[in-house]
Structure 1
């Protein structure tokens, strides 16, 4: 049995197909224990730490941080027998796979290899000779290619100006029949019978080299230049002719810095001459001043990959918005008595160490209203409606990785104190980014607290598989008619979205009304409803 065990990325929840490696908690050469957390992976639902399946020494890390890996692909190799003679650790290669060294051939095998002579015809099958299919017979793993790969020239462009080095010892350069240009600055161009274009005597070597090579055209009489589309757009916005620039990038391509230097140079020359040309801000890529227009383009944009939690949220919201027919109703409620009840609750000895917020009373109101109207807590299943006798109450939480909706399992069976503790643990776990996929699955009814952001209310979109979601707005002191007089009262606005295939207008209105009645006087509602 092999001592090297490859650990594949597991399915972290309900058919997920991939995950992004956020951070490695170990490195190559570390000795790890069984079930020790080794890597933090973000899936479409949450960020989780994966424990080690075996104890031993980390031999190979196959994928670096920030890489998206498919479920079932190996992510790490562990040497389960670290006390044995050590193996050579392998780091991540550019392809995401470990670099494997080729075995060195023995002296006897190399002596038995027959190499074709350089000055005679080569027989088929000999090393360096022709092989079936037009290939060249070589010793496996040893050539014949020894030169580095180069970028293929663009169609219609001139070939590189530097002479290629011989690839084998038997390759001898032949005299050129036509004039050639060398890239060495100190060597002058060769003199031949064919006239060539040379630079002015005062030009430096780099200018001379550029002048001796005629510019290629694109078929319309214009010179072709090598530049990326964002660089071309920047040059077009700044009025720079790319054909007049000398590129400093790979293969002579023109970079953004080349364009900005050209603009800065022309502006400086105009200023010395007493011109009223506009000033150039090279770093921002904009031109300001009299008669100038600020450049707006790709260089002032940011691109954020859509992945992980944000990708799943977008897919779910799009599917829900265009599948379930949404209806939203609003209700403004005087919650002054509810706020006073919370204040009295905080002063009680058994509640002094408990986090008490208005969300607690809203959650209790929803749970009691569901008992009165159970159809609100159901799922549309095509040819049937599934009514659930349990409530997995979801609480929408904004995190650094996006919006997630963990839920309190069977929240209807919890007491008020147990519900407060469950909500506190749920919010703290979500903010720490430690919510597990299991805590975000199986939700039946959701509350989104937009009031913490100072928003009055909104039109929430249903989570897939649910028939109702309540938006709880900010609690504000407002003028309110109370007992025939206008008084300052604590007021909030509720927004209820529901699936009209299941919940009609009457049912949705009664459900929202009962929630409002509870929040208007929670103590009286608890006595009357329970």
Structure 2
């Protein structure tokens, strides 16, 4: 009996996702809920579980292709029998059908099997763009792809690996095309990457990239005896080597839409406050020297996060949402604190749920987990939704201040700049102090100037004199 698994709506209301990597191949036997593929949505890379136990018969879509919700991606043989020429519910294939299936025909909505992640409504094919492939090699039919990693690279495909393994390879500066996978069906593992990093072999240029000499792989090097001028050399370069184009999709598309929506919907106001945070820096130094906190990893971001949570309690209007359809202002009685994180995929804003309930150590632990997941590409879609207010740490890039754009559905965002040693008035004299600039953008529909100013001043007061917290709680 053949069962067809169509791409589900992964719970985010999205209409398309990209298949990053298949972890199975035709002929593989899989179990129920086995991780069979990595799928990249506009928010995160998620693990796709198998809704059936059986044998993989056909992979309808190759890795690197953007697929619309409701389109078939894999067929399973789950055993049993069916009438010749008929299809079981949930299948787009008759039981005796040949393996080369028309992948463009999605199964009817009423025929889809329910599974752990659920299905969204079928997407009309008319009017939406055609599926896009990463490269020519990625457009090959999945059932004809070589499982040998070297053969896969030569065919123009990305080597098979998982997001955490790719993140490790990026950190170590390793081109996965040069790594031989020892996992199942040539899958590259963490151990493969680490073992490769210990070898004293220079990394080759990425597949399709220009050689170190600057001459594209398809071009012929000019003989040494030939004299050419700069203009002729430029003219001789392949035009494709002078610019790179890539499709706007996934996270970049979602981020752009969200920022445009926020910038042209919410009336932004940005205020700045520069403060002497030397007492906070001294507090952090004392915590690091305390054996009870040496392993806590408490840094300035955790302190700012705690200060923000305390200040929200005094100015709750900054922790609200403007509900236009309902004609209501939604007041959040909790703080789901978003932390803007720059990742290889782009900007992510995962949030710490009920951050106001955590102490400094708890916030530091939550920030560490959030950062690790974001860098590894394992942040879940659930962690990227439901935020109520956000912090962005632009200081890590050496920036002092900015005008951050509010996340849609929130009322405010706080940017913290770099801490710098600067001459500062201190007790009637000029001294070298640790100085920080805070930038607060808020939605003027929800937060007026007095409220925004008081909120920012409260955060500044806590950072300038942590002992003042006792007077605020």
Fold conserved between structures, TM > 0.5: yes
Contact 2:71 2:104 in 1 (8 A): no
Matched, 1:521 2:461: no
Residue in structure 1 matching 2:52, options 48, 51, 54: 54
Matched, 1:431 2:429: no
Contact 1:362 1:519 in 2 (8 A): yes
State the alpha-carbon separation in 1 of the partners of residues 468 and 12 from structure 2: 40
Indicate the residue corresponding to 1:408 in structure 2: 352
Matched, 1:473 2:471: no
State the alpha-carbon separation in 1 of the partners of residues 284 and 101 from structure 2: 56
1:109-161 Cα distance to aligned partner (Å, 9 max, x none): xxxxxxxxxxxxxxxxxxxxxxxxxxxxxxxxxxxxxxxxxxxxxxxxxxxxx
Structure 1 residue 508 displacement after superposition: 0.8
Residue in structure 1 matching 2:301, options 343, 359, 362: 359
RMSD: 2.9
Contact 1:471 1:495 in 2 (8 A): yes
Distance change (3 Å), C-alpha of 1:437 and 1:468: same
Contact 1:393 1:408 in 2 (8 A): yes
State the alpha-carbon separation in 2 of the partners of residues 515 and 279 from structure 1: 57
Question: Can you give the 5+ residue segments of structure 2 that lack an aligned partner in the other structure?
Answer: 83-94, 107-215
State the alpha-carbon separation in 2 of the partners of residues 286 and 321 from structure 1: 44
Residue in structure 2 matching 1:20, options 15, 18, 21: 18
Indicate the residue corresponding to 2:252 in structure 1: 310
Please give the residue correspondences for 1:241-390 in structure 2 after superposition, counting only pairs within 5 Å: 278=229, 285-286=235-236, 299-382=241-324, 383-390=327-334
Distance change (3 Å), C-alpha of 1:310 and 1:348: same
1:39-87 Cα distance to aligned partner (Å, 9 max, x none): 1011111110111111111111000011111112111111113999x98
Structure 1 residue 421 displacement after superposition: 1.5
TM-score with structure 1 setting the length: 0.61
Q: Secondary structure at the match of 2:377?
A: coil
Distance change (3 Å), C-alpha of 1:343 and 1:74: same
State the alpha-carbon separation in 2 of the partners of residues 13 and 519 from structure 1: 39
State the alpha-carbon separation in 2 of the partners of residues 419 and 57 from structure 1: 45
State the alpha-carbon separation in 1 of the partners of residues 408 and 472 from structure 2: 30
Distance change (3 Å), C-alpha of 1:342 and 1:61: same
Contact 1:395 1:405 in 2 (8 A): yes
1:168-207 Cα distance to aligned partner (Å, 9 max, x none): xxxxxxxxxxxxxxxxxxxxxxxxxxxxxxxxxxxxxxxx
Indicate the residue corresponding to 1:448 in structure 2: 392
Contact 1:394 1:408 in 2 (8 A): yes
Hey, which bits of structure 1, 4+ residues long, moved more than 3 A? 86-93, 95-98, 277-282, 284-287
Indicate the residue corresponding to 1:75 in structure 2: 73
Q: Secondary structure at the match of 1:322?
A: helix
State the alpha-carbon separation in 1 of the partners of residues 80 and 436 from structure 2: 63
TM-score with structure 2 setting the length: 0.68
Structure 1 residue 346 displacement after superposition: 2.2
1:458-502 Cα distance to aligned partner (Å, 9 max, x none): 110000011100001111111111111211111111000001111
Please give the residue correspondences for 1:224-235 in structure 2 after superposition, counting only pairs within 5 Å: none
Indicate the residue corresponding to 1:251 in structure 2: none
State the alpha-carbon separation in 2 of the partners of residues 7 and 30 from structure 1: 15
Q: Secondary structure at the match of 1:526?
A: helix
Aligned length: 347
1:220-253 Cα distance to aligned partner (Å, 9 max, x none): xxxxxxxxxxxxxxxxxxxxxxxxxxxxxxxxxx
State the alpha-carbon separation in 1 of the partners of residues 399 and 230 from structure 2: 44
Structure 1 residue 529 displacement after superposition: 2.1
Distance change (3 Å), C-alpha of 1:278 and 1:14: closer
State the alpha-carbon separation in 1 of the partners of residues 19 and 80 from structure 2: 26
Contact 1:61 1:90 in 2 (8 A): no
